[in-house]
Amino acid sequence: MDNRTNLDDYLAGLGISGADETEAPPPAPEVAAGPVPALTPADEDPRAVLERFLTGLAARIDPGLSVSVREGEGALEVEVAGENAARLAGRDGRTLGAIEVLAYTVLAKQAGRTDLRVRVDVGGFRKRQADTLTRLAERLAVQVAKSGEPHELQPMPAADRRVLHIALKEHPDVTTESVGEGSARRLIIKPRSYGA
């Protein structure tokens, strides 16, 4: 079975694919008989929408994956677990990032919620990545404090920059700043007294 084609069909059925708009959508999956009340986006629980979408997505990728969704601070946090869950992160977390974009899009479309962020972790990937970035921030802070010169990092996603900002927020010797636009946005660590 070609999971990619099935996933494309699934996403097209949700109205979030790049499929030709003139094509008829795939037939809806059969559901149990009985009246189903029509839901407007405001009626749907964002957590239920997200869990339903990601459970369906995970089942198509690997039936052994399980999904749990909990409410965090200003975000819905998702943990995907299973024997092969870590593979779902992809290279440098790119697949995980794409899943987050899809999940946010579904949440916005089906639950009408654009104010909630979606954070997805698989097999503890995000936690390990945050720990690695925090250690990097601490090493660079020492280097910047000793040299007195700012250090500019390579462009990185907003979530990674946020981890670095938070890690150094209370640091007595350095401060952080994001510069640039779009995918070229990067973080600069500089001494607190720099340019003052």
pLDDT of residue 88: 81
pLDDT at 20 (0 to 100) = 42
Burial 42-68 (b: 16+ CB within 10 A, else e): eebebbebbbbbbbbbbebbeeebebe
What is the predicted pLDDT for the residue at 93?
A: 82
The ranges of the chain with pLDDT < 70 are 1-43, 194-196
Are 93 and 129 in contact by the 8 Å Cβ rule? The answer is yes
Per-residue model confidence (pLDDT) at position 132: 94
103: nearest Cα among 85, 123, 118: 118
Residue type, 61: I
The predicted pLDDT at position 166 comes to 93
Q: Which two tokens stand for residue 38?
A: 């029509």
pLDDT in tens, 58-107: 888 888 889 999 988 778 889 998 888 888 888 878 888 889 889 989 88
Per-residue pLDDT at 31: 45
Which neighbouring-strand residues pair with 75? 117
